Structure 1
Amino acid sequence: MMPFSDEDLQEPVSSIIKNKIAPMLARDGGAIELLDIKNAKVFIQLKGACVGCSASGSTLKYIVEKELKAAIHPELQIVNVPQGMENKLEEF
């Protein structure tokens, strides 16, 4: 059970993505955008060089997911939303 509301998660998730994860991805030409948080699911979208990169799955698991779960809560779910699906988050 997640002890935080989606509103409680917004600031720490946003801060970690902006200050820690985004700079790591930018070094390789990638980017990340926080789309929304619903029911403790963090909807992000990998952008830039991350789109179509064979290592994007590892980036998601070993950088994004690891950082957010370690810093906030281990039950947090991270969902990478494919390009063009930004308005269909309920499908994930």
Structure 2
Amino acid sequence: MDQIETQIIKILDKIRPYLNSEGGDLEYIGFKDGIVYIRMLGACMDCIALDSTLKDGIESLLIENIPEVIEVKNVAEGVDLDGISF
């Protein structure tokens, strides 16, 4: 794991208690070409505020703190990640 990924995980760990308080969570999957791949879990998977949480919360916080991050993508459960190598 490189320094950028370590920074990403630290920030995601700061967000996690907020998600947990709403019955949700997230899983860090990887970082490639400026994109952070995560999987929203629990109540977050079906939440009506998923897009807002992802873009306005998680993505903006990561971009603000880590210049190498340009986007955050939610990888839905069951999606095949074989085409992406981290």
The TM-score normalised by the length of structure 1 is 0.80
The answer for unaligned runs of 5 or more in structure 2 is none
* Number of residue pairs the alignment of both structures matches: 84
Quote the residue 2:72 is aligned against: 78
Q: Which residue among 10, 15, 24 is the counterpart of 2:18?
A: 24
- Structure 1 residue runs of 4+, over 3 Å off? none
Per-residue deviation, residues 49-87 of structure 1 (Å, max 9, x unmatched): 001111111110111111101111275211110111152
State the percentage of identical aligned residues. Answer: 31
The answer (yes or no) to whether the contact 2:36–2:69 under 8 Å persists in 1 is: no
- In structure 2, distance between residues paired with 1:23 and 1:37: 22
The answer (yes or no) to whether the contact 1:36–1:42 under 8 Å persists in 2 is: yes
| Cα root mean square deviation, aligned | 1.9
The TM-score normalised by the length of structure 2 is 0.85
- In structure 1, distance between residues paired with 2:80 and 2:36: 13
Per-residue deviation, residues 7-28 of structure 1 (Å, max 9, x unmatched): 331100011101x111111110
Is the alpha carbon distance of 1:89 and 1:29 closer, same or farther for their aligned partners in structure 2, counting shifts above 3 Å? Answer: farther
Name the aligned partner's letter for residue 8 of structure 2.
V
Is the alpha carbon distance of 1:89 and 1:80 closer, same or farther for their aligned partners in structure 2, counting shifts above 3 Å? Answer: farther
